[in-house]
Each structure stands twice: as structure tokens, then as C-alpha cells.
């Protein structure tokens, strides 16, 4: 994988109540990723950037919501979310990301 592509695949960590509750028990981390990225690309990017071992990756395409504004209806853009399960011996520190 190209070094530039590694930095373009992962857009940031997706922190919600659901991702925080599932993350601690099962070594699960949720990332917002590029829409054109694949599972192997996401796995390689996480391993290179955070120096952890990745067991598996699950990907979800999230549809953008339709919103009503005073100018009419608009639509937020679609995006992609990746659930990355780390191996049991890997430590993932949130301070590294922020």
C-alpha cells in the first residue's frame, strides 16, 4: 500500500455512546474511513498507523440524512464506518489519536 494512501484511508475515530460501550469489552475500535477504501486497506492502515495487530474488520456504509432547512430540503453526504477488532494482546490508547 502506498504511504500516502495510508493517511487518506482513515479519516478519524468515530466516538459515540455505542462505540464506547462495546469497545472496552471486546477490543473494538470504530473509525470513519474513506468511502472508496476496502477491508484490506483499512486493516493495513490501522496496523501501520497505530502499531497494533488487527483480527478483523467490518464495514458499514452509512446513508446521509435528509434535512429540512429554510431553503428547502438538503442531504448530508454518505460516509463509511469501519469496526476494527484488535487482538487481545494489543493496547490501543485514545490519547494517541487525539
The tens digit of pLDDT for each residue in 53-78 reads 999 999 999 999 999 989 999 999 99
Say what the pTM is: 0.84
Task: Give the pLDDT score at 55.
Answer: 94
Pairwise pLDDT comparison (51 vs 1), residue with the higher score = 51
DSSP labels, 9-58: HEEEE---HHHHHHHHHHTEEEEEE-TT--HHHHHHHHHHHH---EEEEE
Q: Which helix (H) or strand (E) holds 74?
A: strand 72-75
CA atoms within 13 A on the CB side of 18: 4
Task: Give the pLDDT score at 98.
Answer: 47
Q: Percent of the chain scored above 90 by pLDDT?
A: 65
- Average pLDDT of the chain to the nearest whole number: 88
Confidence of residue 94 (pLDDT cuts 50, 70, 90): low
Task: Give the pLDDT score at 24.
Answer: 66
Domains recognised in the chain with CATH numbers? 3-88 (3.30.70.330)
Q: Which three cell numbers stand for residue 16?
A: 459515540
Q: Percent of the chain scored above 70 by pLDDT?
A: 90
Amino acid at each position: 500500500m502506498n504511504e500516502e494512501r495510508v493517511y487518506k484511508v482513515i479519516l478519524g475515530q468515530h466516538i459515540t455512546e455505542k462505540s464506547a460501550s462495546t469497545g472496552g469489552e471486546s477490543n473494538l475500535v470504530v473509525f470513519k474511513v474513506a468511502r472508496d477504501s476496502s477491508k484490506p486497506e483499512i486493516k493495513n492502515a490501522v496496523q501501520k498507523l497505530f502499531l497494533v495487530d488487527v483480527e478483523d474488520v467490518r464495514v458499514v456504509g452509512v446513508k446521509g440524512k435528509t434535512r429540512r432547512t429554510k431553503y428547502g430540503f438538503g442531504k448530508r453526504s454518505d460516509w463509511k464506518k469501519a469496526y476494527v477488532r484488535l487482538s487481545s494482546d494489543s493496547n490501543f490508547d485514545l490519547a494517541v489519536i487525539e
